[in-house]
């Protein structure tokens, strides 16, 4: 009999601030720059998880604006199979790295870092293309 396994639900939040969008540099593997986000806690909605993760990683209080999409490729996270619900949001102020973020910055489509983790480059391409 094989062990029954489920993918892990996650959220990612493209936070729009003055000057661009917020990315965090990850403290933990896999390293690189990433869209702020994380795992949905048991009993938590994806919307609440998105607001919580944004605050934990960037210090920003966000207002969710749209659902960008759901990303579920089993290879999107090298650690395990995750399914991410991706939101766009707005915030006022500048991000401050916290929780598992080593750094945070504001980027435009033309200034994105080269080293982007997970499938976040594809998500960002979808976002900038106007989804």
Residues 40-67 pLDDT 10s:
999 999 999 999 999 999 999 999 999 9
Mean pLDDT value across the chain: 96
pLDDT value for 4: 87
pLDDT value for 110: 97
Band of residue 120 on the pLDDT scale cut at 50, 70, 90: very high
Report how far residue 75's alpha carbon sits from residue 127's, in angstroms, rounded to the nearest whole number: 20
Band of residue 99 on the pLDDT scale cut at 50, 70, 90: confident
Question: Options 3.90.79.10, 3.90.76.10, 3.40.50.300, 1.10.357.140; which CATH number does 13-129 get?
Answer: 3.90.79.10
- Asked whether 33 and 111 are in contact (CB, 8 A), the reply is no
Band of residue 1 on the pLDDT scale cut at 50, 70, 90: low
Report how far residue 63's alpha carbon sits from residue 16's, in angstroms, rounded to the nearest whole number: 10
Residues 103-116 pLDDT 10s:
999 999 999 999 99
Scanning the chain, the segments in alpha helix (DSSP H) are 46-58, 120-129
Q: Percent of the chain having pLDDT more than 90? A: 93
Q: What is the torsional sign of CA 23, 24, 26, 31?
A: positive
pLDDT value for 70: 98
What is the reported pTM?
0.95
Band of residue 72 on the pLDDT scale cut at 50, 70, 90: very high
- Asked whether 95 and 56 are in contact (CB, 8 A), the reply is no
- Asked whether 126 and 52 are in contact (CB, 8 A), the reply is no
């Amino acid at each position: 009999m094989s062990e029954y396994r489920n993918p892990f639900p996650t959220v990612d939040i493209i936070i729009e601030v003055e000057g661009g969008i917020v990315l965090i540099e990850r403290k933990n593997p896999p390293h690189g720059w990433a869209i702020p986000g994380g795992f949905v806690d048991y009993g938590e909605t994806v919307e609440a998880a998105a607001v919580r993760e944004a605050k934990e990683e960037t210090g920003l209080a966000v207002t969710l604006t749209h659902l960008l999409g759901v990303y579920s490729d089993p290879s999107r996270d090298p650690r395990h199979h995750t399914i991410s619900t991706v939101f766009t949001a707005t915030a006022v102020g500048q991000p401050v790295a916290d929780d598992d973020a080593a750094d945070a910055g504001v980027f435009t489509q033309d200034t994105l870092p080269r080293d982007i983790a997970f499938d976040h480059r594809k998500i960002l391409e979808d976002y900038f293309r106007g989804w």
